Structure 1
Amino acid sequence: MKVSRRYVDSSSFKMALLFTILLSASAAILCYFLIEFGRRDFLRETEAAIDIEISMLSSFENTEEQLLPYIQRRAKDDAVVRFRYENQKGVLLGGSVDPMPEHIQKITEGVLGFDLLTAHGEQAFAAKIHTFEDGSRILVARNVHELIASYERLIHLSWLIMMLMLVVVLVSFGISHFVVSRINRIAATAQNIVETGDLSQRLVIDSRWDDLSNLSEVLNGFLAKIEDLMNGVREVSNNIAHDLRTPLSGLRGDIEALKHRTVHEEQIDTLLSDVDHILAIFHALLRIANIEKGKRSQHMVEVDLGRIIQDVAELYEPLAEEREIRFDLRTSGNVTIKGDGDLLFQLFANLVDNAIKFAPEKSVINLSVGREGQFVVVLIQDQGPGIADDEKEKVFKHFYRGDASRSTPGNGLGLSLVRAVAGQHKARISLDNASPGLRVRILFQPYQ
């Protein structure tokens, strides 16, 4: 069952919308508390300062005689505070607030607000009125112009924060919708692959700047590798069935022919040869599988590639002399690496064996080991027909045999083992046309 694309998009949109709503609510609450706490601090500070003044004034016993000198002195000492002292009838007795402001507003319970003319123009004042026992009243006012300016700046800052948070909300909505939709799309593709078994499907990549696109690219490479491995398993299975069918059919026919007959030693040798051929195929497959799984990695030690190449040349020299083929062996510099000597011997032996098979009689096979920059390089070059460009990658597959090798003995696993050993040693192997012949080039990391 395929996952509906509409359902995936709807789900990602809902999740992104929920995230946006939560972020918007958080921004609104933050701005509210900034403004409300600023207003409360402004009122608390102003009212506390006025209450201190009134507390001082209410402590005087002889109200008029003590108040007037105090008011004059305070007016000189502190330009922020102003007074208006009047009798029961509202006649001014002292202070600088004269006349009484016309436009008075209530800021909060018991606190009034109005504007007064100062040296810097009209500015805002907050005031409270205290009535004495004799019925006279005094208005204590404080200049709150700077406090109001600070409070307005706080409001502007709060709105700026709100606008920035709105931008963050919109960007977050886009990012969250993008991220969730990509994740859901990856999940939908993965689920579809699981349900259908179609490994040819790939994740859609419509951008290159985000990490999810990089992840999708890695997953596509992962899927391609799995698909290639699965195809390789199927191909190997088919090749095994094809390669074993002929010897098994022949073996069965030979055994069938021996029924009710006297068995000669030569016939037993023939049957054993067929069985050994089949066992050799399975042994090669198991050997390649063990190498690819890294089961021999614990045998890595310092080895001299020049010595190994020389041993391989000595082993195959009698076979080469039968066809009048000569080895041209050259080694130079420090050519030691960290590796498995037995596996490396098998690698070079397979390559030299192939070179002898395809090299013409009375030709030369060049074997060289040396340093090239930071690498140790091994070159094996023959003068045979070479390999077509479209077959250079295929020859490393299990049981693959090109047109030129169908008439030669072998089971098509030699170069598969070569690649497995090279991979075990983190070496790079390439095949180049030498005109004539084939040049095999292997680059190893030197021994550290």
Structure 2
Amino acid sequence: MFTILLALSAGMLGYFLTEFGKREFLRESEAAINIEIAMLSTLAETKNDNLVPYIKRRGDNDPIVRFRYESVNGTLIAGAIDPMPNDIENFMEGVLRFTLNTADGAQVFAAKIHTFDDGSRVIVARNVNELITSHETLKHMTWMVMVLMLAVVIVSFGISYFVVSRINRIAATAQNIIETGDLSQRLSIDSEWDDLSSLATVLNEFLEKIESLMSGIREVSNNIAHDLRTPLTGLRSDIEALKNQPADPRKIDTLLADADRILGIFHALLRIANIEKGKRADFFRDFDLSRLLLDVAELYEPVAEEKMVKLETHISPGLFIKGDRDQIFQMCTNILDNAIKFAPPHSVVRVLAAVDGKRIALRVEDRGQGIPDHEKDDVFKHFYRCDSSRSTPGNGLGLSLVQAVVNQHQAKIILEDANPGLCVRILF
């Protein structure tokens, strides 16, 4: 509809400019000629023989106007139009058009004929060559405007077709996802230069994120069921075995330990969920990361000594960051706990922190078995445990919490090989 209306507007504009321009300059010329004829008629009625001198004087003073005053039999009495031109045409009703030679070459004149009462007549011609040239220029410009508007019509139709077809494809894909629940579908992208392609790219990333989250939810649900089934089964068996038997403090302690382990898993999951919500970001404050790391190292010094692991710290003073101190403390304890847990006896675990360019870099290195490259992205998933750590106590939620805290503080975590061992590097 827009294309059709724009095309009609272009046609009407072109017609208006050409026809209106032509009529206006013809009316102007006819009005000027009528004034000349009225003056001549007035002079002819006075019968003072002023008509011929006026025609001569007027023709000499104004080169735009030319006259031919002739008798009844056509003999020239006065005026510069002699002889009569042969290319006389009708300009419009009552107005003639012909060509006369001038100092500037052949020029187009518009003329009218007036007959006096005695039968003589006068031809009054006015040079309209400049007006015709202007009208031709206007016609050319009108055609240029119409061509440009036609281009606008074509481009607008192409854009509308392109936009509507892309939107319909996006809507069809979205509707299909709603009906089938298949989040693996993606919007097709034919180009990279237009806004709709950028929108489709963002929507594809959005769908990919949703698919990843849904997959994570399913995986977490399966892992929760798997990790809780064993302790709950054992807990039920132990409780059932206590029926009709005297209370055994050792059995009760075992049951409490199993219950605490289950509660610990749920507590860890809830803590990760609260961190990922990001509700505490408004309460971030500046604090001394150097002091916090020294506190963490001091807390885990006895744990390291018990495992016969040497704990070294190389922490630059005055490293201040903005964040949640409790979350960062929990994150650091998780990383250091893992490093000591997997470090072999008589090895070294290092905690390093310093300014690295425009960032603060925290490094925790151990000399354990490390993490294979193909598992470095998976270790941050809930309940994921490497093959080498299956026999080590834990629930696979430690690094998930670390990742949640890192994301909350817009930091970056990188797992690197320490050759041997693992280096956990965090950039604030």
Common fold by TM > 0.5: yes
Match of 1:394 among 359, 375, 378: 378
Would you say 1:94 and 2:78 are equivalent positions?
A: yes
Superposed displacement of residue 378, structure 1: 0.3
Amino acid aligned to 1:242: H
Equivalent residue, structure 1, for 2:37: 54
CA distance in 2, matches of 1:86, 1:416: 112
CA distance in 1, matches of 2:102, 2:184: 83
Would you say 1:325 and 2:309 are equivalent positions?
A: yes
Superposed displacement of residue 118, structure 1: 2.0
Which ranges of structure 1 fall in alignment gaps of 5 or more residues?
Answer: 1-17
Equivalent residue, structure 2, for 1:411: 395
> What are the Cα deviations for residues 339-376 of structure 1, in whole angstroms up to 9, with x where unaligned?
11100000000000000110011111110110010000
Amino acid aligned to 1:189: T
Superposed displacement of residue 397, structure 1: 0.3
Q: Match of 1:58, SS?
A: helix
Amino acid aligned to 1:313: A
Amino acid aligned to 2:25: F
Amino acid aligned to 1:152: E
Q: Match of 2:74, SS?
A: coil
Q: Match of 2:50, SS?
A: helix
Identical residues among aligned pairs (%): 63
> What are the Cα deviations for residues 213-234 of structure 1, in whole angstroms up to 9, with x where unaligned?
2221111111111110110011
Output aligned runs, 1:164-313, within 5 Å. Answer: 164-313=148-297
2:113/2:123 contact within 8 Å kept: yes
Equivalent residue, structure 1, for 2:319: 335
CA distance in 2, matches of 1:231, 1:286: 19
Equivalent residue, structure 1, for 2:137: 153
Equivalent residue, structure 2, for 1:5: none
CA distance in 1, matches of 2:48, 2:88: 26
Equivalent residue, structure 2, for 1:22: 5
Output aligned runs, 1:338-353, within 5 Å. Answer: 338-353=322-337
Identify which range, 422-431 or 135-144, moves more after superposition.
135-144
Q: Match of 1:275, SS?
A: helix
Q: Match of 2:98, SS?
A: strand
Superposed displacement of residue 428, structure 1: 0.3
> What are the Cα deviations for residues 44-99 of structure 1, in whole angstroms up to 9, with x where unaligned?
22122212222332332425612211111111111010112223443322111123
2:290/2:317 contact within 8 Å kept: no
CA distance in 2, matches of 1:113, 1:333: 100
2:228/2:262 contact within 8 Å kept: yes
Superposed displacement of residue 383, structure 1: 0.5
Would you say 1:77 and 2:49 are equivalent positions?
A: no
CA distance in 2, matches of 1:108, 1:158: 22
Superposed displacement of residue 333, structure 1: 5.3
Equivalent residue, structure 2, for 1:32: 15
Equivalent residue, structure 1, for 2:90: 106
2:14/2:142 contact within 8 Å kept: yes
Q: Match of 1:99, SS?
A: coil
Amino acid aligned to 1:300: F
Superposed displacement of residue 167, structure 1: 3.3
> What are the Cα deviations for residues 5-47 of structure 1, in whole angstroms up to 9, with x where unaligned?
xxxxxxxxxxxxx544333323222222221222122212212
CA distance in 2, matches of 1:64, 1:434: 124
Would you say 1:436 and 2:410 are equivalent positions?
A: no
1:333/1:371 contact within 8 Å kept: no
Superposed displacement of residue 387, structure 1: 0.1
Equivalent residue, structure 2, for 1:11: none
TM-score (norm 2): 0.95
Superposed displacement of residue 404, structure 1: 1.4
CA distance in 2, matches of 1:277, 1:67: 127
1:379/1:440 contact within 8 Å kept: yes
Amino acid aligned to 1:71: I
Q: Match of 1:90, SS?
A: coil
Equivalent residue, structure 2, for 1:15: none
Q: Match of 1:208, SS?
A: coil
Would you say 1:365 and 2:349 are equivalent positions?
A: yes
2:67/2:124 contact within 8 Å kept: yes
Amino acid aligned to 1:433: D
Superposed displacement of residue 109, structure 1: 2.2
CA distance in 2, matches of 1:64, 1:339: 111
Identify which range, 150-159 or 60-69, moves more after superposition.
60-69
CA distance in 2, matches of 1:402, 1:364: 22
Report 1 or 2 for greater relative contact order, CA contacts < 8 Å, sequence distance ≥ 6: 1
Amino acid aligned to 1:301: R
Would you say 1:42 and 2:25 are equivalent positions?
A: yes
Runs of 4+ in 1 over 4 A off after TM superposition: none
Superposed displacement of residue 150, structure 1: 1.4
1:126/1:144 contact within 8 Å kept: yes
TM-score (norm 1): 0.91
Equivalent residue, structure 2, for 1:13: none
Amino acid aligned to 1:336: F
CA distance in 1, matches of 2:321, 2:422: 25
Which ranges of structure 2 fall in alignment gaps of 5 or more residues?
Answer: none
Count residues with an aligned counterpart. 427
